[in-house]
Amino acid sequence: MAYPEDLVGKYIRFNRTGTPLSEREKQSLDYILTGHSASLSVPVFTYYPGRRGAPGGPGAPPVPPRPDRFLSMPPWNICFLDYHPGMVTAVQLSQCPVLTGPMSGCFLFRYKEQDGSTWFAHVGTGESTEVSLQAKRKWKLYARSLGTDTCGQSPLHFFDDPTLESAAKLAGGAPQIYGLFEAAPKGKFYAVLLARIKSGVEGHGYVKVCALRESYLQPWDTIQKSIHFKDIST
């Protein structure tokens, strides 16, 4: 992911509604759920600002031109990891960066399995304390088997108020914060601010990437001692 800043200011189609949990998964005692990801093709040089009719038509919001240094770059291809309140979902590292969200009080982690493979996890907190505790407890139990290179973050604290307010005006409501992992075992991690807009075209959803911040990951040993996890019994 050599050009993440090329996403900022762009409009992308985002019709991902999530993979529903199966009845078995709803009752599952598994700590981690896999199989809840999908590949998204995100063309960073094709814009979809919102207006009925052809993309980019009259009256559409202005889109910044693509810098010359990005013109030869291939389109983005992103793996989207679904979020489910009360559950921990995970996807294995592949050739694509991993986008996941939206964030509430969720934590995202990068970790290695015993076979050496790299995975990304979304600990799905929710609006209720019970749901949040369920997800955090599952992760805490699962993390016992993981190595010391497990690290994570909550992307909620990387945007200032003016940035959030500007995105809220565009979206006509609260913008959403997502996390983005580079496609590398020790790649960079970003907090991404998305504003969903009305496209004027029925059945099509669009978001604007309002801001992107490179963020740091903390060791799991540090996070589990924080106020977010320390009092959760397993």
Q: What is the mean pLDDT of the chain?
A: 78
pLDDT of 87-103, one tens digit each?
898 888 888 888 888 88
Q: Are strands 98-100 and 151-153 parallel, antiparallel or unpaired?
A: unpaired
Whether 65 has a pLDDT exceeding 80, the answer reads no
Tens of pLDDT, residues 117-144: 999 999 988 878 888 999 999 999 999 9
Q: What is the pTM of this model?
A: 0.81
Domain boundaries along the sequence of the chain:
4-223
Q: Which residues pair with 122 in a beta bridge?
A: 89, 108
What is the per-residue pLDDT across 160-174, written as a single tens digit (0 to 9) for each?
999 999 888 877 778
Is the pLDDT at 107 greater than 80? The verdict is: yes
CA atoms within 13 A on the CB side of 226: 13
Would the pLDDT of 56 be above 70?
no
Q: Please indicate whether residue 110 or residue 53 has the higher confidence score (pLDDT).
A: 110
What tens digit of pLDDT does each residue of 186-206 get?
A: 999 999 998 887 654 444 566
Is the per-residue pLDDT at 33 higher than 90?
Answer: no
Question: In this predicted structure, what is the pLDDT of residue 202?
Answer: 42
Q: How high is the pLDDT of residue 1?
A: 46
